[in-house]
Amino acid sequence: MAEIIAGVGTSHVPAVGAAIDHSKGDQPYWAPFFDKIAPARDWMAETQPDVCIVVYNDHASAFSLELIPTFALGVASSFPPADEGYGPRGVPAAEGHPEMAWHLAESLILDEFDITIANKLPIDHGCTVPLSVMYDQPESWPCKIIPLCVNVIQYPAPTGNRCYNLGKAIRRAVDSWPGNERVAIFGTGGMSHQLQGERAGLVNTDFDLAFMDRLVSDPAGQAQVPHTEYLREAGSEGIELVMWLIMRGALDDQVREVYRAHHVPTSNTSNGLIILENAVSVTDPAAA
């Protein structure tokens, strides 16, 4: 059977994508950030998942306010980078895995998660920047990609608990897929940031580090945290962090924290990265 081998939580800040695209990684502003994510790239190069399920939010690129799916799953064979106003990023299109994605859709919907099925889904920075963070600039992404898009743009966003339970349903869906793919799941967005209004530029490092701690050790408790607390503590866009709970729900109750990085600022945001593996690994039981 297919296996979820790891989860990656990462911010998806567009300025990070621009820094990579324009080779600014060595500049004094960016070098400390890229130094911190280097071990995560090493882990990815070593781990080589066959499929990445990337949980992210669209930022009015694929979906306008005319149509707002709470959860949309990409079942296409290819996902082009979206034009976000400056032309599409010069990154490869993501190759999908339609057979597995349709299986996920069927399993999730019959498991009573009413997912929107997206046959066409241009992917914006929410999805492409995490791929760049983990893979840098390859000619093609070295894995198949199944995008899962979550509405955290227009209230009401799904609760943290709904997201956590969706992750558990994704785990059941992957476990019941007869292929032998090794799957990583990304939860993206955050960390604390607010892009507009009186509190624009808000960063709350204490909240972000506590979020990562609790994501590891008490995800069911973190899943009970209401939207208002994210809004108050992590700014209006901090709500993106509920998507990390989808990733966490797809892992075992006990996980091993493989790597963590935190950096302020990137653009006006707090940037976090965490890699989690299931504590009992099928391939390495001694590591439990």
List the catalytic residue out of 193, 227, 262, 263: 193
When the beta carbons of 110 and 200 are compared against ligand DHB, the nearer one is 200
Q: Based on the shown chain and the rule CB under 6 A, indicate whether residue 193 belongs to the binding site for ligand DHB.
A: yes
Q: Based on the shown chain and the rule CB under 6 A, indicate whether residue 263 belongs to the binding site for ligand DHB.
A: no
Question: Which region among 10-18, 138-146, 158-166, 210-218 touches ligand DHB (by CB under 6 A)?
Answer: 10-18
262 is catalytic: no
Please check whether residue 29 is in contact with residue 121, taking contact to mean a CB–CB distance below 8 angstroms.
no
Selected from 187, 189, 235, 272, the binder of ligand DHB by CB under 6 A is 189
When the beta carbons of 165 and 204 are compared against ligand DHB, the nearer one is 204
Rounded distance, CA 62 to CA 60, Å? 6
Tell which positions 14-53 bind ligand DHB, by CB under 6 A.
14-15
When the beta carbons of 60 and 279 are compared against ligand DHB, the nearer one is 60
List the catalytic residue out of 125, 227, 262, 263: 125
Question: Which region among 60-68, 133-141, 153-161, 265-273 touches ligand DHB (by CB under 6 A)?
Answer: 265-273
**Least distance to ligand DHB, CB of residue 274, Å:** 16
Count of positions on this chain that bind ligand DHB (CB under 6 A)? 13
12 is catalytic: no
Instruction: List active site positions.
Output: 125, 193
